[in-house]
Structure formats: structure tokens, C-alpha cells
Amino acid sequence: MSQYKMWIDGKWVEAESGKTYPVYNPATGEVIAQLPLGGVTDVDKAVVAARKAFPIWSKKSQADRSAIAMKIAAMLRDNARELGKLDTLDHGSPAQRAAFLPTASSLNFEWAAYNCRSLMGHTIPSTSEDLIYLQREPIGVIAIITPWNVPLMMVVEKLAPALTLGNTCIIKPPSIDSLEALKFAEMLDTLGLPPGTVNVITGPGGIVGDALSSHRGIDMVAFTGSCEVGKAIMSSASQTVKRLQLELGGKNPVIVLDDADVDAAAAEAVGNQYKNCGQICASPGRFYIHEKVYDQFLEKMLAGAKKFVWGDPNDMKTQMGPLVSAEHRDRVEGYIKSGIEQGAKLLLGGKRPTTAPLNKGYYLPPTIFTGVTQQMKIAREEIFGPVACIMEKFNSDEQVLAWANDNTYGLAAYVWTGDTARGMRFANNLQAGTVRINAGHGGGPELPWGGYKESGLGKEGSLYGLYEYSNLKRVQVDLAVKK
């Protein structure tokens, strides 16, 4: 069993409390590591270090910072295999996918390296005796608080623009799968960054995350996670009016119209629903299927779900491993129980395995409910598990649009149709930050990501995402000749 330390002010340190906590392998339930139990004092140390580093790091030229970002991108690719093994070990990602994620993450640093060098100021026409221009500057010290569902990628998506633009950062990785973040810190430690430029503190969000979001020395909080925690961060951050970037999940509708390619829609639905055990904010939350193609779609999705290979994440044939923790598995099982009690029909799965070796891990099989109605708990709340909710049949565009928008979330939506113009009309009326027509989840750092309503604030990715990590300053100069 490995013992780890935190990275603060360019040094590897124990928690001030001297305490540690265990990390479990979700595939076996075994303890695999002990991590420092960070607390308020550790946050104070990291803030002091980050504030000391900020004037040094922010004054480097953008060319120098971009060059370092390119080195980080290369390191992520070079260490993809080792990082992937850690992802399988403490998160349960299938080995066939785990090594791909660090390589995909490297694109965020490459994109930031190029585009931070391209951010341009603007002049604003006024009078012949005035010069008014706008410039972008780093914000300061940014707390990056990330979720457990894609542990390394979530860190990198926020750190790449924040760091490359000149901010210093304190990373609070997810407590249950922090190993990749700590390995990433080891890689950063070889670059000769000013001490305190990046810090990593492990520990529970209720202590470390709250201390960061309420700390007067933190200028911005970038967070991905649950809506409940996001609201708590907003409340804490409001005391010092911090900048916030929040991505808070979704209950994403998938709409299959009567003229859709049902084969393609069902195949995409299976992959999107069960990839990463459904632990992705863009995963389908509700399937709305037109009554004319309902039976056909359900037959094909059921067949695809039965063929989806789940089990040991170390097996290269496995497409879906365990849920991330016993606690989260219990939470998903609570939703399954609620669906049954409220009258939905459990068509497939729903029960954890009882035979060895899978009975020792945090597994649930691909699960499908039918007959789900708008007011059921499983239709209203984000399950974040391998559970597909097939809603009541619909027979009109107006009806399904109303149902799809009837939710507190507005992150993403999917529309399947053979009529592109019809699909675009849906896109114009759906309350979601991203609408995909005849396409599943996918993207890259050049594309904005962020939702409407309680799905969060601000954007990640694209130039809009870069702007989130900078301040906009107006400078005005009087050019008039003085007599």
C-alpha cells in the first residue's frame, strides 16, 4: 500500500494534522493507498505560496508560459500509460479507455498554449483626443475543485487555461481518486515552476473545498460537480465576491423523432449511457422516443445494452467497469429502488452481482427503465450511473419540447431526425447549452461547454473559456495637447 504526500509551495508535505485517509480500488474494495487528510491550515499554506508565486509567474511573457504549456502537453502524452493504470486502479476506468484520456487531456494544454498567445486587446473609438483600449490580465489565485468522474481530465481542462494565462492555482482533486492528480503534480515538479505556482491538496471537499471557496486569498473558484455543492460554493464565495466558473451537471434529454435513423440513435444511446458507468455530466438522462419508432428503438437499445461488456476494468474487452465507490453505488441503487416504487418498469439490470469476483467491487450492470413519467424522481434528478430512463411515448414536437425543457438542468440535449431543418427548430427551442443533432457526445478544447439554468455558470473550452480565467481592464489616455 502506497503512502502519498501533498504538493504545496514546491515541496512534498504531509498534512498539518498528520492524519491520512484510505483510498479504495472500486473493482475489489481493497485499500490501495493512504492520502494526507488536508485541512484549513494546509489551505492557508497553499494560499500564501500561490500569492507569493503570482507576481513571478504572471510577469513571465506569454511566450514563456505557452512554451511550458507545450511541455506539459508532451508530458501527459509520454506518461499516458502510467496515468491510465492509476485511473483504472482508483477510479475503475476500463483499461481499453484509460490510457486514451491523458492523451486527450494533453490537447487542452496545446490549445491553451497557442490561443493564449493569440488573445488580442481592442481599441474603442472615442474622440481624436482620447485613446481607449482593453486588455486582458490574469485574475490571481484560482482554486480548482474537481469531481471524481474523469479525475485527470477535469483537472487539466481547468488548469490549462488558468495556468497558461498567468494565474497561480490550488488544485483540490476528488478525495476518492486523487492518484492521477498527484502523479501529474510529480510531472509538474520537474519543470522548475516558481514554488507555489501550482499546489495540490488532498482531503474531503466539505473541509478543503469549503476553506478554499471562503478564503480571502482566493480570487476565483473553478468547480465541476453536483448542483448542491455548487450552490454551497456560491454561498461561501459570495462573502468575498469571488469569480466563479461552475459546471454542475445535467439531466440531458435524448429525443428520437419519427423520421430518425433508429439504428444509429440506439447504438449511440448505448455507448453514451454506459460509458464510464454513466458517470459523465453529458450522459443521457431521459429518452423521449416517438410512438411510431418506440418499439423499434427499445428493442435495439435493449439488445445493445445486453451486449455491452461490463466487469473487471483490467480486462481489455471490458467496456464498463465498476462505479467509483461503495457510497455512490448505494446512491444509484437508491434511485433504482425509487423508480420501482414510483411505478417505472425495470426492464434490464438493476441488481449488483452476487458471485465472485465482481461481488467484491462496486458494480452495477447496464440498467433500463421504461414507463418513466415526468414527475418521477428518476426523471427529475441526475442519477449519474448506468441507468437509462425511457420516458413515456410522445406524438408531437410541441409536446416533447415541453417535456424536455421541464427540468431544472439545461446542460445538453440530443435530437435524432432525418430532417435537418426540423432538428434545427428543436435546437432553437431547447433550453440547453449544447444541442447535438444526429450526434453523440464529443468535442475538444476549441468548443465551449457549459449549461443553462442550474447546470452552472460560465463556459469551459474555446475562447469563451479562456476569458473566464482573465480580468478585462479598460485603459483610457487623454491625448489632448495641454496649453
Could you give the residue numbers annotated as active site? 247, 281
Task: Classify 56 as helix, strand or coil.
Answer: helix
DSSP conformation class of 161: H
From the list 160, 185, 170, 163, the residue with the least C-alpha distance to 217 is: 170
Half-sphere exposure of 384 (CA within 13 A, CB side): 23
DSSP conformation class of 24: E
Dist. CA 378–CA 251, nearest whole Å: 10
DSSP string, 94-128: -HHHHTHHHHHHHHHHHHHHHHHTT---EE----T
Cα distances (angstroms) measured from residue 398 to each of 204, 393, 417: 45, 13, 15
Element spanning 67, H or E: helix 62-78
DSSP string, 185-235: HHHHTTTTPPTTSEEE--S-IIIIIHHHHH-TT--EEEEES-HHHHHHHHH
93 phi and psi, to 5 degrees?
Answer: -65, 135
Element spanning 243, H or E: strand 243-247
Dist. CA 372–CA 251, nearest whole Å: 14
> Would you tell me how many other CB atoms lie within 10 Å of the CB of residue 406?
14
Task: Classify 76 as helix, strand or coil.
Answer: helix
3-state secondary structure 170-188: EEECCCCCCHHHHHHHHHH
DSSP string, 366-413: -EEEEEE-TTSHHHHS---SSEEEEE--B--HHHHHHHHH-SSEESEE
- Give Cβ neighbours of residue 428 (< 8 Å, ≥ 6 apart): none
Half-sphere exposure of 7 (CA within 13 A, CB side): 26
From the list 72, 97, 207, the residue with the least C-alpha distance to 150 is: 97
With beta carbons less than 8 A apart as the criterion, state whether 14 and 199 touch: no
Dist. CA 136–CA 37, nearest whole Å: 37
297 phi and psi, to 5 degrees?
Answer: -65, -45
